[in-house]
Structure formats: C-alpha cells, structure tokens
Amino acid sequence: MSDNLVLEDLHHIRAVVNATREDMRDLKQRVSAVEIAIAGMRRDDAGLAEAMAMLAARTDRLSERIERVERRLELA
C-alpha cells in the first residue's frame, strides 16, 4: 500500500516538473520576444537622435543664411 502512495507521489511530482518545464519554455520565448522588441526600440531611438541632429544642423545653416541676408539688406 505504501509503495502505491510513493508511486502516486512520484507521478504527481513528474507531472508538476513537466508542467514547470513547459512554463519555462514559454517564459524563455516571451523573454526573447521582449529582448527583440527592446532592440528594435533602441534602433528607433538611435534613428530619432540622428534625425534630430540633422534637423539641428539644418536649422543652424538656415540661421546663418538669414543672418547673411539681413546683413546684405542692412536689417541687422
């Protein structure tokens, strides 16, 4: 009788271990998906920083041109 209880306990433990193993696989896949998403956001952020730097440079060039025009027209 006690052998049967031990076997039942072992079967239950095996079932719990298998369920835990499946949960771990799922979690690993989800973590990988999150890591991929974060990498994508970092790329997007870098692209935005580059665009902002280009706009700042363009704004600087336009300011210089406006100053030259103002000097030529003797507005400044």
Mean pLDDT of 46-68: 97
Question: pTM for this structure?
Answer: 0.65
Buried b (16+ CB within 10 A) or exposed e, 42-72: eeeeeeeeeeeeeeeeeeeeeeeeeeeeeee
Tell me the per-residue pLDDT of 11-33, one tens digit each, with 9 for 90 and over: 999 999 999 999 999 999 999 99
* In the block, residue with structure tokens 């300011």: 63
